[in-house]
């Protein structure tokens, strides 16, 4: 099997944000290995990716939600033939739908991401661990029920 290139990893990172912003649920879920673990930006504890996916699907991938991200420079650290780490800053604008239907618009101006990719048995790069955080407090505001999703 060929060695993982930095370009391969950068392409996967861009796919990840593209799937999320276009709300492509199944493609987005397939980015993670079944054993993957995740620190979400606002979570106090780590969780299994499959649990995080249920929440992201409910809050971020519904019709009234919105996700837009601008990525900074992506550093790639290859670790052997089947593993690589991507780390990068990002700016995120989201409209999230909470349980009960309330919607919140949030800005994450100084997001930071670490994503560890591993090649699966078919040779596909998938996330085995993810750590998202924010260097600055996230600003959030509740939207009136009738507002369409904000676009930034």
Partner 1 sequence: MTKISSEDIRKEVHRFWAILSGNLADKLEEMYSPTAIVFTGKAKRSESAKLMAARRSRQLPGPAHSSIAEVGAMDVQIVGTDVAIAAYTYSFNTQKVLANGSKVQINTTFGRATQIFQRGEDGALRIVHEHLSAAAPPALEKAGG
Q: Give contact residues for partner 1 (rule: CB under 8 A).
A: 35, 37, 39, 42-46, 72, 75, 77, 79-80, 82-83, 85, 87-89, 110, 112, 114, 116, 118, 128-129, 131, 133-137
* Cβ atoms within 10 Å of 2's Cβ, excluding its own: 8
State the Rg of the chain over Cα: 16
Residues 6+ apart with CB under 8 A from 146: none
Evaluate whether 126 touches 31 at the Cβ level (below 8 Å). Answer: yes
Q: 23 or 131, CB closer to partner 1? A: 131
Evaluate whether 132 touches 115 at the Cβ level (below 8 Å). Answer: no
Instruction: Count CA within 13 A, CB hemisphere, residue 13.
Output: 27
Q: 46 or 124, CB closer to partner 1? A: 46
Q: 94 or 149, CB closer to partner 1? A: 94
Q: How far is the CB of 24 from partner 1 (least distance, A)?
A: 26
Q: 58 or 131, CB closer to partner 1? A: 131
Q: How far is the CB of 73 from partner 1 (least distance, A)?
A: 8
Q: How far is the CB of 107 from partner 1 (least distance, A)?
A: 14
């Amino acid at each position: 099997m060929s060695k993982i290139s930095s370009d391969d990893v950068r392409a996967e990172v861009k796919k990840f944000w593209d799937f999320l912003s276009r709300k492509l649920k199944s493609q987005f879920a397939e980015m993670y290995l079944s054993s993957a673990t995740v620190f979400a930006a606002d979570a106090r504890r780590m969780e299994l990716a499959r649990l995080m996916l249920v929440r992201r699907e409910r809050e971020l991938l519904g019709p009234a939600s919105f996700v837009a991200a601008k990525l900074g420079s992506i550093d790639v650290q290859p670790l052997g033939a089947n593993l690589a780490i991507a780390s990068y800053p990002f700016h995120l604008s989201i409209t999230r739908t909470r349980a009960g239907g309330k919607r919140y618009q949030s800005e994450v101006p100084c997001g930071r991401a670490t994503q560890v990719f591993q090649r699966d048995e078919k040779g596909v790069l998938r996330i085995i661990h993810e750590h998202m955080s924010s260097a600055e407090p996230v600003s959030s505001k509740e939207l009136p029920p009738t507002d369409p999703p904000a676009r930034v």
